[in-house]
A and B are shown apart, each in its own frame.
Chain A
Amino acid sequence: MLPDELTDPGRDVPPLEHAVRAEEDLLTARHAVRSSAVAAGFSIVDQTKIVTAASELVRNAYIHGGGGTMTITVLRDDRGRIGLRLRVRDDGPGIADVDQAMTDGFSTGAGLGHGLGGTRRLVDEFTIDTAPGRGTTITITRWKP
């Protein structure tokens, strides 16, 4: 758990968990993120950024990670600020060199190699927890301005 979830007194929306095992789950995941972002009152530009970030991470999870889950949490910090947190976890091979994976232009899959580095630019907070053989968990948060 990240600190602001522990001290989150106003969270009234329970986290939603979605399985991401195959391509079909990508659309479901995107729609779920879009609805949460709309419900949380994000602007159309912010919605687009969050859904794009989710799309990159979910695709990574089933292509590189062999499938996993995406959890959506609506946050409210002690100043009343609303945020949307996505956690995408897989039980795949993990990432040996995180710095390399975060570099633009690096790709082992079908994208353009901007997936992780680009995703980080689309959100306010980005954490990655991975090691070879231990899977990968990426947590991103975007706060409403």
Chain B
Amino acid sequence: MSAEAGLPILRLGDILLTGLLSDLDDKTALRFTEELTTRISDEGIRGVIIDISRLEIIDSFVARVLMQLADTGRLLGATMIVAGMRPAVAITLSELGLQLTGVRTALNAEQAMELLGWRRPAEAPHAP
């Protein structure tokens, strides 16, 4: 759990997996960006997946936060992927005219992992 912004950032090898929540405010967004940026740099992170499946809406504020996060991480050399946008949010965002320019997206976190080169075993063991 991130002590600073209160948003969990999980590490899987050289990948960080994190997510945004609907109650994101300016201060949290700023702290979260700082913390993520520091960890990318300190831990030699290659890819970051930002799961947004819990975001019920993306307004122009959240869109700006996502674009800045993606931009900042990319400048440090990490591949930034925003994953799990809800279909209703995608439709609304498109109608609103917000294109999330420069933000790479994936259907879900698993696809984002694959984009970052994470391979599923050929025969994945099934849970009992």
Contact A118-B98, Cβ < 8 Å, known A27-B23, A44-B88, A48-B92: yes
A11 at the interface (CB under 8 A from B): no
B64 at the interface (CB under 8 A from A): yes
Number of A-B contacts (CB under 8 A): 72
Q: How many residues of A contact B (CB 8 A)?
A: 26
B95 touches which of A23, A30, A34, A121 (Cβ 8 Å): A121
A2-10, A83-91, A92-100, A104-112 - interface stretch: A104-112
Closest chain-A Cβ to B24's Cβ sits at a distance in Å of: 10
Residues of A within 8 A of B49 (CB): none
A64 at the interface (CB under 8 A from B): no
A76 at the interface (CB under 8 A from B): no
A66 at the interface (CB under 8 A from B): no
User: What sequence of 0s and 1s flags, for each residue 6-39 of chain B, a beta carbon within 8 Å of any chain A beta carbon?
Assistant: 0000000000000000110110000000000000
User: What sequence of 0s and 1s flags, for each residue 86-100 of chain B, a beta carbon within 8 Å of any chain A beta carbon?
Assistant: 111101100111100
Residues of A within 8 A of B98 (CB): 112, 114, 118
- List the B residue with the shortest CB-CB distance to A105: B97
B56 at the interface (CB under 8 A from A): yes
Closest chain-A Cβ to B55's Cβ sits at a distance in Å of: 10
Q: Which residues, 64 to 116 on B, are CB-close (under 8 Å) to A?
A: 64, 67, 86-89, 91-92, 95-98
B97 touches which of A27, A30, A121 (Cβ 8 Å): A121
Contact A122 B88 (CB under 8 A): no
Alpha-carbon gap, A55 to B89, bound state (A) = 13
Contact A115-B60, Cβ < 8 Å, known A23-B25, A45-B91: yes
Q: State the A residues within 8 Å of B (CB).
A: 23, 27, 30, 34, 44-45, 47-49, 51-52, 55-56, 59, 104, 110-115, 117-119, 121-122
